[in-house]
Amino acid sequence: MLLSLSFHFDYYPLLLVIAVAWLTPILLSLLKLRKIPSVIAEIFFGYLLGHFVLTNHSVGSFHILEFLALSGFIFLMFLSGLEIDGDQILASFPKKKVSLSHFVANPLLTGIAHFILAIFLAFFATLLLSYLIDIPHVWYFALIMGTTSVGIVLPVLKGRGEISTRFGQTTIIAAAIADIMSIILFTFTAFIIKNGFKFELLYILILFFMFYVFYRIGNRMKRITYLRKLAFQLSHAASQIRVRGTMLMILLFVVLSQYISEEVVLLGAFLSGLILSTLLHKERSVLMIKLDGMGYGFFIPIFFIMVGMQFDPAALLEFDQTLYGFLGLLLLTLFLIKIVPSFLWVRLFGMRKALSAGFLMSSRLSLIIAASAIGLQLGVITPGINASFILMAVFTCLLSPVVFNMINPVKLSEGEKTLIIGGSSTGVLLARRMNVHGKKVVIIEKEKERFLEIKNKGLFVVRGDGTHPLIYSQLNLMPENYVVVETGNDERNYKIVDFLRNELLHERIIMRACKMPCVEKLNRLGVETIDLHRVLSTAIENLILRPTTYHDLVESFENYSVEEIVITNRIVNGQQLKKVPFHSGAVLMMITRDKSSFIPHGETFLRLGDLLHVFGTPTALQEIRKQIQG
């Protein structure tokens, strides 16, 4: 059979869709509307495209768009699974008898309780709404209302520097549990609606068995040195072996799901992302860039633009005079069913934070649109209800983050933070990298234009002079806060450092130094210096002598880091290292004791005040801090 390449296919609709996908983020940036999720704008522009531009094209020319939109939907579910941090959830499993206080403090248990309460409230709210409009399937309608969006929750908390706080971790795990449980319940419910209670329902469990098999095999394969080297060698240029392997795994789960039932594809795609999330920690940063490029750069925008193209506002007319009342009650209900269960966190975080978490959890995006579309195909959702849920996705995505920030505004003067004096390109890059680690960073910039430019980038910045004590008073500079001086001018840097050291008596100061006389002056002040020449030569040395290790560490900085943890827990004092159960996602590299450092072994006894140098994932490091510091 010869390959036939026909150029008679009409690519014009695809051209317009890709043009809209390309223009959308540019317009949002030019109009300074970066806080609006781009998918919302894509749905809007897709509606304009479908109803005012592509009105006379044949059905056949849309076949490729429908296929690409379906591929975008599958990719979206895959990336939703990839966003879930499995280690974070596993680390929250209770390790001892659960009392009321332990239950409230455990993110996993409260996350499950939050979801169960939300579903019960959604079910009773749906029963009440059914008196106002005709709802063909109450349970399925309630499941749609119970969804949330990790894709909205995670960026909001990360942008505020709260991703590593107890509040942030609790909210993220609750959102992740809601996503996982919603997709599982949707899958079983859709299967039963279409096929009834049949023995074939158990076939869905094959997907979970496959998940377990892939997890076990993947964990063994990544320990084989030869395979790791081969994967690294083939991960670049034309091979892109990790991307190809990822696509193979997605399609394995998707094809198996199709053999079980079409409604199971949602779960299959999600599980493929979840398994990759649990396996590829080191490679995840590089792989995520490539997969995000494929997904959000091509497939996923087509899905949301097609949602807008197929959105039919005329379907809302089925509600007649009850339309505005129904939409208002539906929006209110979507918020209440997430806010009320969030009172579980009042004892832990206080009323304001608990309420704000409820509003943030109310954001809904991809899952509510996907579930509604599936319900429409199954006949359990009317066209009017489907159109209503698309509108609700738009409203909740716009309102939830705004209300969250209003109720729980960022207080730059509170909590752990790092100050960067000067908005140079180096300072901005450092702030972005620290934000990836979930650390709060505040930039202090004197020039008005540069201040506004940094503010528009979404970073925390205040306008002020680094030599004025008032700015440090406003930001409540504490002795444990690091101050990085990087204005781009060596003389001004030294002036600020001298002020901090001699006037404010602050000790934790870092500054770069290019010339030896400057280094000597800074050393006399007791300031930590960065020798750029030494840093550059060390980086080149690593590239020559240990290139694989260097690339792995640099490219996966947001997934792995080194932390210094001081032993303050008396329970650990005097124990041998082999008897202390360290998290599997971390490695103890070195111990510093009495100003001397050594590499520990299983027989090493731990002492109060020991400084542990630990390398690992954020979740593992968090668990070790709890264990070592009590």
Instruction: DSSP for 552-601, please give it.
Output: HHHHTTTT-EEEEEE---TTTTT-BGGGS---TTEEEEEEEETTEEE---
Alpha carbon 491 to chain centroid distance? 40
Q: Hey, is 528 helix, strand or coil? A: strand
Query: What's the confidence (pLDDT) of residue 58?
Result: 65
Query: What's the confidence (pLDDT) of residue 282?
Result: 44
Distances (CA, A) of 413 to 462, 478, 590: 11, 9, 34
Measure the N-to-C terminal CA separation of the chain; round to a whole number of Å. 69
For CATH 1.20.1530.20, the residue range(s) in the chain are 12-194+295-407
What is the CATH number that goes with domain 12-194+295-407? Answer: 1.20.1530.20
Interatomic CA distance for residues 209 and 51, integer angstroms: 45
Sequence-ordered list of residues with C-beta below 8 angstroms from that of 146, at least 6 positions apart, any chain: 115, 118, 119, 122, 178, 182, 337
φ/ψ of residue 32, rounded to 5: 55, 45
Query: What's the confidence (pLDDT) of residue 452?
Result: 86
Tokens of 586: 């971390």
DSSP state for residue 604 in the 8-state scheme: P
Q: Residue 444's beta-bridge partner residues?
A: 421, 462
Query: What's the confidence (pLDDT) of residue 141?
Result: 93
Query: What's the confidence (pLDDT) of residue 574?
Result: 81
Tokens of 383: 């066209």
Other residues' Cβ atoms within 10 Å of the Cβ of residue 399 = 16
Q: Find, among 401, 405, 399, 396, the residue nearest to 352 by Cα.
A: 405
Query: What's the confidence (pLDDT) of residue 140?
Result: 93
Query: What's the confidence (pLDDT) of residue 343?
Result: 92
User: Spelled out in words, what is the top-level CATH class assigned to the domain 560-629?
Assistant: alpha beta
For CATH 3.40.50.720, the residue range(s) in the chain are 418-533
Query: What's the confidence (pLDDT) of residue 515?
Result: 63
Query: What's the confidence (pLDDT) of residue 625?
Result: 79
- Please give the angle made by the CA atoms of 435, 536 and 235, to the nearest 5 degrees: 65
Sequence-ordered list of residues with C-beta below 8 angstroms from that of 475, at least 6 positions apart, any chain: 412, 413, 417, 419, 442, 444, 462
Query: What's the confidence (pLDDT) of residue 555?
Result: 57
Q: Find, among 331, 394, 307, 239, the residue nearest to 76 by Cα.
A: 307
Question: What average pLDDT values come out for the chain (630 residues) when binned by 10 residues?
Answer: 60 89 87 78 90 76 84 86 74 68 79 93 93 89 88 78 77 87 89 83 85 83 70 64 84 89 85 82 60 84 89 85 88 94 89 91 86 87 90 89 86 79 84 76 87 82 86 85 84 84 85 67 72 72 71 59 80 80 74 82 83 76 76
Other residues' Cβ atoms within 10 Å of the Cβ of residue 544 = 8
Total-model pTM? 0.72
For CATH 3.30.70.1450, the residue range(s) in the chain are 560-629
Question: 367 with 179: CB under 8 angstroms?
Answer: yes
Torsion from C-alpha of 492, 494, 496, 501, nearest 10 degrees = -170
Question: 418-533 adopts what CATH topology?
Answer: Rossmann fold (3.40.50)
Question: 192 with 201: CB under 8 angstroms?
Answer: yes
Question: 370 with 74: CB under 8 angstroms?
Answer: no
HSE, CB side, 13 Å, CA atoms: give it for residue 171.
Answer: 34
Distances (CA, A) of 39 to 89, 207, 361, 363: 28, 30, 18, 13
